[in-house]
Every structure is written in structure tokens, then in C-alpha cells.
Structure 1
Amino acid sequence: MKMATLPYLLGITAAALISVCVWKLLGAPVNIVDAPAGKVHCISYTPYRGGESPFDHSFRAEPANIDADLAQLSKVSDCVRLYSVDLGLDAAVPLAAKHHMQVLLGIWIGYNEAYNQRQLAKAIEVAKANPQTVRAIIVGNEVLLRGEQTPEDLLRYIDEVKKATGLPVTYADVTHFWLNAPPALANAVDFITIHILPYWEDKPTSAKRGVAYLDQVRAEVAEHFPGKRIFIGETGFPSAGRDREAAVPSIISQARYLREFAAYADTHDLDYNLIEAYDQPWKRAQEGTVGGAWGIFTADRQPKFPWTGPVSAHPHWHMETGIAFAFSITILTIMAFRGGKPEPLGGIGAGVGAGFVGSALLLQIEHSMIAWRTPLEGAVEILLLMQSLAVIFFVLPEITRKKAGIAPLSIADTLNWLRRPTSQGRGMALYLGLTQLAATFGSLVVSLGFCFDGRYRDFPLAAFALPALSFALLSFNRGDQKRAYPDRREEVMFSMLFIVSTAIIAYNEGPLNKEALMWCVINLIFVLPWTGQIKAAIRGLITKSEAVAST
């Protein structure tokens, strides 16, 4: 098809404006309270890079890597907190001394007594060899929370370490377990170490309210343990991942919380440790994307935000604008050659749509780069990208046609083709049907996951908003939502699953989770093309009910 020059040029102009507006808005700098001058008190450190993990018992941290990390961290803090002394981490203590840093030496306590004894022996050995470097020893991290030991067992371990080293000793856990611990545990430690993570609290708290929440919790603990020094052993905020009610992970949220907390701690003379130094991708296996996004440095050792001045979630938004615009031109070209010949006004509309789709595609790719950790995750992200490309190549051009575009095959016909692929039924209707089935089925799988086990799952908004909106627009272009096609029970079943899962997600996540609400809207948009079938099914049920009642 010959491309109309004027509508195409108008479309390019519209796409350029949309791309600039979207990314300038996303990259707009936000003014945040500056952190006080100087270094943060202490920061959690684990040496794992790339695919390295503490679950790999053959792993040994390279001293050269630890040395390079501590050289970088010494510029932002004079202290690091370690969580164990195995897998080569014991080398971090003398290396910390080299960089004039102190260490909160952690002893990892689990359910295995033999492993615990090895940890205790090694930690005592390291502490005795470096008494000027080891600031205190943390015997166990959230052991009571995990239910792997009893308070009585912890008391035994704490007493052994105190007698062997003579150094200050503590135990670290969330506030709930400290408030319910026996008094003997509080008496045994030199100071109380509590973890306060507004994002992970039972009632998630936003970054804006995070410091106020921490102040409230700290006051409660101080009242419960009068005269006992309170140390904040972990606090921080993630830079990426799924929302939890009003707690929204982002670079802005992380910078806001950490900078405001540093200012608060400075004015209240509060001692603390931040979690954590570097993003740890291995944590995503247990906690999803958010688990690997707590570092103030990325996994490749780049700072995420400045500690003074404005902060941008997309500091390179000019470059991202260019990439999104390039995507938009490609999309617009596909629409121009494969779709209908538009009038000038239609060209502007197509350009606006291409601008938004190009930006959504870039956001999807950026999320994939964060979420891609294992080969399975990589395969899923590639399939989602292929799904978006299929929508761009097959669905968007059909929307631009003046006359009603081709309708997707029904779910039943598409499934029949998948069972017995033949040349019969090939063509645009089949491609549209396959794309629609993949998108709706994928969205349903994700939604059902949220219903039954949603704590660590991301909301893939960019990946599914495009097919949902595109098929809805194609349906409205054809008027399908007003037609009751016969034998479309599968569409009705899919619609009911969408509606039920949407209700469950909205209930589970609550009205404060904007990300969850947006996902619910996407689910309902998927249903729009099938409203005619839903109405027909409801009318059929009413008719049958009346027939039964009349008999």
C-alpha cells in the first residue's frame, strides 16, 4: 500500500511530541531533603555479584572483589555489617581495617546445630584476631522470625560469644519478636538491634511516611526496654518491584526515605545500619524483583542517586526519549504500510498512539532487564516481548482501517487450530486469534498468581496494557462488543475468570495500591470485546430460569 505522505509526517510529529512529554514527565527531577554532610553510620554488605549466591556452598568470595567493594564503601561509610563468616566473608574483617572501617560481625544462626557451631567458632576466631575492627557481634539474624531456634538457644549462643570475646554482643530481629521475647534475652545483649523496613511491615508504609513510622516504632521499643540502647540494625527502601498498598518502590522513594532518615538520625543522635550496599540479584529467587533492589549501589557498583540535590527516576530521559521515538517511527511505519490509508486527522491519531506504544515498549524492555535473572525468567520476558511485537505488527494496523478490520478467530477455533495446525484457517484472523489468546491467557495466569500467592509478584502493566487496549479498540472499531456471536462459551468463561480474579486482587491489595488497581483495569479492558457474549449468556440464563419457574 502506498503511504500517504502528509498523514505520515503529521503522525511523526505527534509521536515525537508524545515521546518527549512522556519521558520528560518520567524523568522530572524531584526535590528531596538533603542528607547531612558526612558518611552514613553503617551499611549491610554482602559480596555476591551476578549469579553468585550464598545458597551455592561451593562459592568463595574473592578477596580482591571484597577489597574493591570496601574501597568504594569507605567513601560513604566507616562501618559495614556482615551477616556471616563463611564462604570467604571472614576476609572482609582485616580488609575493612585496611580501609579504616569497623565491622558489625554477624554470625548466621540457622536450624543446623553443626553449622551453627562452625559459625560461632569462626566468628570468635576472627573477632579475637581483629578486636579493634569488630565494633560488635550480632549473634543471629531474624532467627526467631524464621522459627529456626528458640530464645533459650539464642541465650546459649550469646553467652558463649560474650565469654569468648569480651566484645559487645546483640541479636537482630524485627520489632514484633523483640517485643514478645523473654526478658532474659534483652538482659543478655549489650544493646537491642531492631529491623524497621516500612515497605515490608504488616501495614506497608510509603516512603513519605516512612520516617514518621520508624520514629513511632522506635519509641515503642524504647518504652518497652527502658534504659537499653536501641540500634536500628536494618532500615531502607527498595528502588524497584511491586507496590504494597501505598509503599511504592522507585529510585525517588528510595532516595526520599534514606535521605530523610539520615537527617532524622542526625538530629535524634540515633545509631543505625542501612540495608544495603549493593543490589543482590540472588534475593529475587525468594522475594521477587523487589528483593534484589535494596542497594544504594546497583549490582554493577553504580550509585543509584545523589545524597543532595534533586533526584530523577530517569536521569537519562533524553536518551530514552530518542529510543522511544525510534520505536514510535517504526510502529507508525508498520501501521502506514499494513493498515488503512488515513486522513490527516487520522495520521495525528496514529502518531499519538505510536508515541505511547513506543514508550510502553521501552518501559517493558527496561523492566525485563531488571526481572531477567534466570533462563526461565529470560524465556518469559522474551515471550512477552514477542507478544507485544505481534500486537504491533498484526493488531495496530487493523485498527487504522476505515472499514471494520478483520476479526480474531474465536478462542474455540484458535484452540482447534493449535490442536491440528492446517493450512485452512491461516491468515490475519488466525494471527489475531493466536495473539489474543496468548495475551488473555497470559494475563489470566498472572492474575490467578496474584489471587493465591501475590506477595512477591510484579504487576507487568506495560506488557499487557498494549494487547488489552489494542483488542478493545479493534473490537469497538468493528462493533463486536454489541454482537452476540453464537458458540462463544470460551469467551464467557475467560470473562468470568477475569472478573472474579479482578475482584479478588482488588480485595487483597486494597484501594491504596494504584499499581494493583491499574492491573484490575487492564483485566476489565480484556473483557470489553466479549461484552456481547456476556450479555447473551446472561439473557440465556434468565430465559432458562423463567422456563424452569413456569414449569
Structure 2
Amino acid sequence: MKLVSAPFLLGLAAAALTVLLIWKYLGAPAVIVDAPAGKVHCVSYTPYRGSETPFNPDYKADPARIDEDLALLSNVTDCVRTYSVDQRLDQVVPIAEKHGLQVLLGIWIGRNDATNRMQIAQAVKLANAHKKTIKAIIVGNEVLLRGEQLPDDLVGYLKEVKAATGLPVTYADVTDFWVKAPPELAQAVDFVTIHILPYWENDPTSAQEGVNYLRRVLEEVGPMFPGKDIFIGETGFPSAGRERAEAVPSVISQARYLRDLAAYAQATGLDYNLIEAFDQPWKRALEGTAGGHWGVFTTDRQAKFPWTGPVSNHPRWQLEGYASFVLAFLILFVVARAGGQPDSLGGLAAGIGAGVAGSALLLQAEHSWIVWRSGLEAIAELVVFAQSLGIVIFVLPELVRGRRCLAPLPVGQTLAWLRSPNRATLGMPLYLGLVHLLAVFSALVVSLGLSFDARYRDFPLAAFGLASISLGLLALNRGDHKRRPEDRPEEAVLAALFIATGCTIAFNEGPQNVNAMVWVLLNFLFALPWLGILVGAVRNTFFKRAATAEA
């Protein structure tokens, strides 16, 4: 395809229109209920940034950064909740006092009684010095959930802190463990603190239904604790991460749930604390992408959404669209230089494909940026991105050739070349085979993880959608599905694995998880060119066994 030709110019126009439509859709603002005027009741605060983590025994909080954070938070709330008093986190209390904030002071209770005693002693000293600033003391967070203490031990800690400070005390845990706890625990607290997180519940709930779910839980749990007020110690919704049933993390979802919650709390007098002030990257190692994206503010202290007016998942969609169009132009340039000579209809198809591919590459890069949690994962993301570039450089130009396209080297021959590289084999079939093998291997690794350990794993649709469709079309164009199974045993095995993992994911996730169903479709697209080979292999095996049995 010549750079100055009708097919190329038509493709360029088609790419521009495709990119515009994609990003206009992705960036469309949602009109949701405005939050009532005023500040949110309270927000969880921890100062960790970047690679900082509470699991680093040498970490010490910087008072200047705490001061900076609390100055910002004082604009949106009058209260912060903490979880510990070590690592210099006790400094939060006097700095909060300076900014006119009250503190729900957290004492971290774990397995080690000596460490617990140190936490309690430091918290008691702090509380007695700042009684007007400390709203209440939370003695332990989800200790029963983690199985690190017995309820009787917590009762002892609560009574000790209450006697030493005279301040209100409480214990925080998810609803199930409060319900199962002996009545002595509720009797030892001044109010019951429960965590309600619609996204993480065993039956995940969408942001649209989140507040209704919270209301139902309160109606069920409230009567179980007569004479005790219920405080929502943690609630919120992540702005990024894997879809869980109908719970889809996004900026719009987070804004919708938090605004609905603020309106509901104002109407009912409910007291609550949001999880959390700032995104915490360290949580991604424990809870996947979603774990690091519960903050009202990003890690660089930027508000994620306004509390009134429309909200967009991609507020800078015009800029992202321009970047995608540049990528689409480069893709068309690569296709044109490869020498394909499509007609006008082919140029139009190439343009649409380039627009989709350019947008997918940008979405993949954005997703990779927020999901990697370690150096090893960063390398894995770079490998997958290299695979996508391989699709653009080698596969898309071949698709433009239509029936004249070259076929990827079979998997068996590609593996043989990797074991014993031979310069004589260098050429487009080998390059296509290597890209195909990398894409298939990467996709299978993801699918196996999603089949057996899915809770914290994302569905990387942008990273593999382009590969599955492009490679499938290329193989079908060459008639690979008609190959004899005895010549392609590796493809039969891979097709079987894709089908098996796809069925497992569909069964585990259910049809309500749209992202999961799309990933299952991608699995089947990877297997599609080899279905004939798989069927032939199964038929041959069956007939061979039948013939052996008859003999």
C-alpha cells in the first residue's frame, strides 16, 4: 500500500474516525447524584507512597509529608482513621490537631502479645495527651478475620484501654465475624464498628446497588447489638481492578458509590469512615490491582473525581485519542511499507484495524502502568507489550495481503528452532511463529492463573484481544485448521488447554462477569484455528483405541 494512495488515505480517515468513536465512548461522562454539601465524615489515612510499606520494619513516617497530607484532607473531612502507632505514625495525632481534625486512633493488634503491649502503651500515652483530638480508640482491626487473637483476648485489651484513657473504645471487623463473636465483645465496646465493602463481599455487589446492600446489612445486623450504635469503620469502592460478578471497578463506580453513600448518610444520620484517603500501592501485592486503588485521591495526591457534576473514567480522553491516532498512523505506515496492495475496501478495513490496534496499545500501556507490583511483573508486562508490538509489525501487514499472506511456522517447528537456532530458517514464517508462540504462551499463563487463583488477577483484555483476533484471522486465511493432526500435535494440545481453561473461567466467574466472558471468548479465538486439528486428534485417538479393542 503506497503512502500517497487512495487506499492509504481512506485507511487514515477510517483510523481517525475509529479512534474518535472509541475514545468518545470510553470518555463519556456519567450523570450521577451529587453528594450533599459539606465534608465526608471520616477517611482512613496511612502515609505510604510508592514502594513504601508497613511491612518494612525500618520505615519511619515523615512528619512533613503527614502535615502536607492532612492539610489536603482537612478540605474534604474533619476526621481521619489510623491503624497503628508505630513507625512514627503516632505523629498523625498532633499534626491532625494542628489542622483541626479529629482522629479515630487505631491500635494494631496481632499475634505477638509483647508487640501488642507496646502498641497499647504508646496509644494510651498519646490518647491521654490529646484527649480532645481523639474521637475514639479502635483496639484491633480485623483480628478475628485474620485469626490472630481470640475474642476473650480482645475483650481484655478493650477493657484495659478504656480504663487507662476514659475515651470511647471499639473493635473493627467485617460483619460475619461480629455476628459470630460472643456477646462479651459487643458489651466491651462503646459502639460496634463494622466493615461493609460491596466489592469484596462473597456475593459482590455493583456500585449502583452498593448503598442498598449496605442498608440491608445494617437492617439485619443492627438488632443483634441492642443498645449499641453501629459505625461503618470501612466502606468504599475501588477505582481500578478486576471485575467481580457485577462489581466493576472504575472512577465512575467509585464516585457513584461514595456520592450515594454521602446522600444516604445525610438522610439517615449514619456515621461512616471511607477506605481510604490516598491510593496505597503496597496493597497491590496482597489484593491485586483493586487493592491499591481505594483512595479518594491518587498516590500523587490528585482528586480522582468531583463530588458534584458528571464524572468520566477518562476525563482526558481527547489527549488519549490523539495519542491513539498517532499509534494508528504508525501502524498504517508499517502496513504500507510491508508492501501490501489492498483495494479501497481493504484500505478501509486496514484503517479500522489500525484505529482499534492503536487504541488497544494505549489501553494496554495504561493498564500495565497501574498493575505491576514488582520488578518481575514489570518485566512480564514489557514482554506482553513486546508481543503486541510483534503483532503490529509482523501479523497485521500479513493480514492486509489476504489470501496471499504467509503462515506462521507451526508450533513444533518454532520450538525446535528455539532449541537449535538456524540462520537458514530466518524469515517471515519464523517471525510469525515466534510472535504466535509468545502470545499463546502468555495467554495460557494468564488463563491458568484465572482458572485456579483468580481472586486478585485482572482480565488483560486490551493486551490479548488484538493478538487473539489477528492471529486467528491469519491462521484461518491460510487454512491452518485443515492441517492433519498427526503433523501438528502441539496445536491440538494448546487448543484443548484454551478450551479447558475457558470453560473453567466461565464456570467460576458466571455470566454476570462481562470481562470474564470476554476473556473466555478470547480463549476460544486462540483455539479456533486449531479446532479442526483437535477434533482430528480426538477422532484418531478414539478410532485407534476402538480398533485395538476389537482386535
TM-score by length of structure 1 reads 0.98
Q: Matched residues, percent identical?
A: 60
Q: Is the counterpart of residue 183 in structure 1 residue 183 in structure 2?
A: yes
CA contact (8 A) 1:241 1:249 kept: yes
- Structure 1 residue 3: Cα displacement: 4.0
Q: Is the counterpart of residue 128 in structure 1 residue 141 in structure 2?
A: no
Which position in structure 2 is the counterpart of 1:492?
A: 492
CA contact (8 A) 1:4 1:341 kept: no
Distance in 2 of aligned mates of 1:361 and 1:69: 35
CA contact (8 A) 1:3 1:341 kept: no
Deviates more, 1:50-59 or 1:473-482: 473-482
Distance in 2 of aligned mates of 1:38 and 1:529: 59
Aligned 1:52-131 pairs, distance under 5 A: 52-131=52-131
Q: Does the residue aligned with 1:116 lie in a helix, a strand or coil?
A: helix
Ranges in structure 2 where 5+ consecutive residues have no aligned partner: none
Q: Does the residue aligned with 1:58 lie in a helix, a strand or coil?
A: coil
Distance in 1 of aligned mates of 2:289 and 2:193: 27
Which position in structure 1 is the counterpart of 2:238?
A: 238
CA contact (8 A) 2:485 2:492 kept: no
Distance in 1 of aligned mates of 2:224 and 2:240: 34
Measured against aligned partners, the alpha-carbon deviations of 1:312-363 in whole angstroms (never above 9, x if no partner) come to: 0000001011000000000011111114111111101100000000000000
Going from structure 1 to structure 2, the CA distance change for 1:210 and 1:511 (only over 3 Å counts) comes to same
Aligned 1:135-284 pairs, distance under 5 A: 135-284=135-284
Distance in 2 of aligned mates of 1:277 and 1:354: 40
Distance in 2 of aligned mates of 1:84 and 1:260: 30
Distance in 2 of aligned mates of 1:295 and 1:376: 25
Q: Does the residue aligned with 2:162 lie in a helix, a strand or coil?
A: helix
- Structure 1 residue 481: Cα displacement: 2.2
Distance in 2 of aligned mates of 1:483 and 1:3: 37
Measured against aligned partners, the alpha-carbon deviations of 1:467-504 in whole angstroms (never above 9, x if no partner) come to: 11111111222222234364211111111111111111
Measured against aligned partners, the alpha-carbon deviations of 1:432-476 in whole angstroms (never above 9, x if no partner) come to: 111111110111111111121111111111111111111111122
- Structure 1 residue 175: Cα displacement: 0.4
Q: Structure 1 residue runs of 4+, over 6 Å off?
A: none
Aligned 1:349-360 pairs, distance under 5 A: 349-360=349-360
- Structure 1 residue 92: Cα displacement: 0.6
CA contact (8 A) 1:484 1:535 kept: no
Measured against aligned partners, the alpha-carbon deviations of 1:367-407 in whole angstroms (never above 9, x if no partner) come to: 01101332112111111111100010000000011443111
- Structure 1 residue 2: Cα displacement: 4.5
- Structure 1 residue 529: Cα displacement: 1.5
The residue identity in structure 1 corresponding to 2:187 is N
- Structure 1 residue 544: Cα displacement: 1.7
Measured against aligned partners, the alpha-carbon deviations of 1:143-188 in whole angstroms (never above 9, x if no partner) come to: 0000000001101110110000000000000000001110010001
- Structure 1 residue 56: Cα displacement: 0.7
- Structure 1 residue 256: Cα displacement: 0.5
Measured against aligned partners, the alpha-carbon deviations of 1:93-152 in whole angstroms (never above 9, x if no partner) come to: 010010001000000000111111110011001101100000000000000000000001
- Structure 1 residue 311: Cα displacement: 0.3
Which position in structure 2 is the counterpart of 1:532?
A: 532
Which position in structure 1 is the counterpart of 2:473?
A: 473
Deviates more, 1:264-273 or 1:333-342: 333-342
The residue identity in structure 1 corresponding to 2:367 is H
Measured against aligned partners, the alpha-carbon deviations of 1:11-60 in whole angstroms (never above 9, x if no partner) come to: 00000000000000000010001001000000000000111110111011
Deviates more, 1:475-484 or 1:307-316: 475-484
Number of matched pairs:
551
CA contact (8 A) 2:53 2:282 kept: yes
Measured against aligned partners, the alpha-carbon deviations of 1:187-223 in whole angstroms (never above 9, x if no partner) come to: 0100000000000001000101100000000111111
Going from structure 1 to structure 2, the CA distance change for 1:429 and 1:440 (only over 3 Å counts) comes to same
Q: Does the residue aligned with 1:288 lie in a helix, a strand or coil?
A: helix
Going from structure 1 to structure 2, the CA distance change for 1:501 and 1:402 (only over 3 Å counts) comes to closer
Which position in structure 1 is the counterpart of 2:405?
A: 405
Which position in structure 2 is the counterpart of 1:422?
A: 422
Distance in 1 of aligned mates of 2:399 and 2:545: 39
Distance in 2 of aligned mates of 1:535 and 1:332: 37
Q: Does the residue aligned with 2:247 lie in a helix, a strand or coil?
A: coil
The residue identity in structure 1 corresponding to 2:491 is E
CA contact (8 A) 1:340 1:402 kept: no
Which position in structure 2 is the counterpart of 1:10?
A: 10
Distance in 2 of aligned mates of 1:280 and 1:115: 24
CA contact (8 A) 1:339 1:400 kept: no
Distance in 2 of aligned mates of 1:270 and 1:451: 40
The residue identity in structure 1 corresponding to 2:179 is L
Quote the RMSD (CA, aligned, Å). 1.1
Ranges in structure 1 where 5+ consecutive residues have no aligned partner: none
CA contact (8 A) 2:107 2:123 kept: yes
CA contact (8 A) 1:339 1:399 kept: no
Q: Does the residue aligned with 2:137 lie in a helix, a strand or coil?
A: strand
Distance in 1 of aligned mates of 2:454 and 2:373: 19
Q: Does the residue aligned with 1:170 lie in a helix, a strand or coil?
A: strand
Distance in 1 of aligned mates of 2:306 and 2:22: 23
Distance in 1 of aligned mates of 2:382 and 2:244: 27
Distance in 2 of aligned mates of 1:339 and 1:540: 41
Which position in structure 2 is the counterpart of 1:447?
A: 447
Which position in structure 2 is the counterpart of 1:326?
A: 326
